[in-house]
Structure 1
Amino acid sequence: MIKFIRSEVKRIYGVEIPLDREHIVGHYQINPVTKPNCPGSEFQFDAIIAALKGSESSTGNQGNSASGTVLYRVQVGAYGVKANAEKTLEAIKAKGYDTMLVQVGNLYKVQVGAYSKKENADNMAAKLKADGFDTFITTQGGTTVSVESASASITVGSKVKIKSSAAKYSTGQAIPDWVKNNTYTVQQLGDGKVLLKEIVSWVNISDVSLV
């Protein structure tokens, strides 16, 4: 959204909005009276700005900011298969964290935040660990890649199919191939997963698609 707004402002008015905290602001900075907490203390301004700068950089040195400042990122896994990285990303989002998926070579890495102070990265890592995620701090970024999030549109009653790339139910058992050829009804929503009525099974929400 920010990228689109910047491109439209530049196209219409010929003005390029700088990528910094002076120009990328929250509602609380514009209207502190009626929106004092928008978008919230955990909103990842630094991560968003770093990702936008990274997408515009042609140098490939996306671990640092444009000014050369080292950015500390909290990483939660690195995967050779994008679908597996998306599962972790969905699970983190289900806990209320803002996260991103970046690619470095053949690996897809799930990262939370991009902090100029390591202390802030350490604090975020501690929160994620408390929620059950294994983390470590890295200064290596990557190329931001898009994620097809199913959670935004799937609701109770939605008709879905299990993706052919799905390997296991959210409970850990293997998903047989014949299950992937049918249409199912979402009976219940969970944290990053859905309960399918016809087979009475929980499936990761990243492993289903709307029919």
Structure 2
Amino acid sequence: MNISFDNHLLTKVCVLVVGSVFAASCNTDPGTEHRYFEELTNQEEVVIVLSSYGLDSLPPDVGLLKNARELTISYDSVKLGQWVVLPPLNALYEMVDRPPFHILPAEITQLPRLNKLSIIGLNLRQLPKDFDKLKQLEYLDLSMNKLTVTNELNKLSGLPLLKKLVVFGNRIDTAILKNWNNQHPDLEIIY
């Protein structure tokens, strides 16, 4: 059996198929953008595992979770409540400077009822500038990100009810952090 293809026609068909798939995946109507967490909007305790949504960073629709009192966000469920083997400390400190780097969307500051927030292993470089709007926050876990904690202390100082702060796995200047903790004696810091 001898089959011959017209390469020019084959190229046009491939371009048409690829173009159709690409066009179908593009969303040009802002009114129809995907809302990942819509089914979670009425919950008070929310756990988001980004990899289960096919995401590598937190989308702005986290701001939809207005009823959330406890919010846990991680890239991978392995990091939530299970034993994890971590690299040696010297390698951990080097990882803070290596990409990828992500940002936490400002919409997270629009969750007025939030009193417990765990943001684990999201490669965050900084917190949103209005992070101190989370006035009800009592517990904050920022472990295994890429924050320079001393750069975030002004934002954290604006959280009057904060009782526990976990910052393990970020860039930490222990002398500055201890001094800051002395100014906030009711705050337990884990680093």
TM-score where L is the length of structure 1? 0.23
More strand by percentage: 1
More helix by percentage: 2
TM-score where L is the length of structure 2? 0.25
